[in-house]
Amino acid sequence: MKYLKKYENYKKRRQNIMSRFRKAMISMSEDEVVDYIIENCKEYLEYKKDIVRYIASGDKTWFKSNPISRVSRDNANHYTVIMSNTWKDYPKRNKSFICTLNKNNIYGYYYDVIPEDGSKWGVAPRSDIWSTFKNTLGYPDDFFRFVDDLSKNLGLGVVNDTNYKELRKDMIRLFDELKERDLKDNLWNKMRAIAEDTHDEFIGFFQKNYEKPSSKIFDELINIMKPENNDFKLLEYKDLENEENEKEIWTDSPCVFVKKDEIDNILNKINEKLR
């Protein structure tokens, strides 16, 4: 029953995101796409990078879209909120297109992503952000699901994962409650008794910072999640390099999406106009 409920929540969240994403799609004619890229995407024409995005519906050949407010589709959203509110100068993760650099010949529902000039890109050190905090949080989805389980089983409800101020308040309250229960000794077994599970990275993190005030424990969580502590990069479009191939990247810049098997046709049209 627990896993069925999780699946239903995931399905509902996914449908909500896709509905808002479709509403943000701006249909364009072929000529409009060509003219728009010539006028607004000069960096793309000069430095062309192989940025792609898979879109499940795949029912449009091309379109323009502004980033929409989003939550993590497949997992806990806490890390998205933290990244969006504490990673200075990075594109807002909660208002970004999540893409990958991929030079492989992929077609079907894959789209070339063409950003407007001046776009900034967050670059993860691996192909999926789930596995990029392994030296600090472990898998962030597991880390924050364990946080939610602890909070719920202590009668505090889930930790807010859509508003940063509320998330911070809920996390500090959780740390306060855990310290009230004097869990310092035999922490592993005591947390297992509360959450019916364990998470080594969270327990290790909490044990290491146990003596600090709860607000400082939260500050330390923010510190270990900093991009410079996890090998992330912030790059301009022209500086995206081939060695970043297949790494997850994101931008909050408006973009044009062109289905992969149509991009050569669009580029030919552009070249004809620029002659």
Our measurement of the distance from residue 187's CA atom to the centroid of its chain's CA atoms, rounded to an integer in Å, reads: 31
pLDDT at site 7: 55
Q: Hey, what are 113's tokens?
A: 């992503």
Q: For position 68, what pLDDT does the model report? A: 77
Residues 137/160, Cβ–Cβ less than 8 Å: no
What residues are paired with 27 via a beta bridge? 63
pLDDT tens for the chain, 275 residues: list them: 555 565 566 566 666 666 766 677 888 999 999 999 999 999 999 999 989 998 877 678 999 988 877 776 667 899 999 999 999 999 999 999 899 887 665 655 889 999 999 999 999 998 888 888 877 788 888 899 889 988 998 899 999 999 999 999 999 999 999 888 776 666 667 777 776 666 788 888 988 998 999 999 999 999 999 999 999 999 999 999 866 668 899 999 999 999 988 999 999 999 999 98
> Distance between CA atoms of 93 and 82, rounded to whole angstroms?
9
Question: Token digits for 217?
Answer: 């424990």
Cα of first residue to Cα of last residue in the chain, in angstroms, is: 63
**What pLDDT, on the 0 to 100 scale, is given for residue 54?**
86
By the 10 Å C-beta count (0-12 exposed, 13-18 middle, 19+ buried), 146 is classed as: buried
Total Cβ atoms within 10 A of residue 16: 13
Distances 249 to 136, 240, 241 between C-alpha atoms, Å: 20, 10, 12
Q: Are 61 and 266 in contact (CB under 8 A)?
A: no
Angle between helix 140-153 and helix 200-208 axes, rounded to 10 deg: 70
Residue type present at position 139: Y
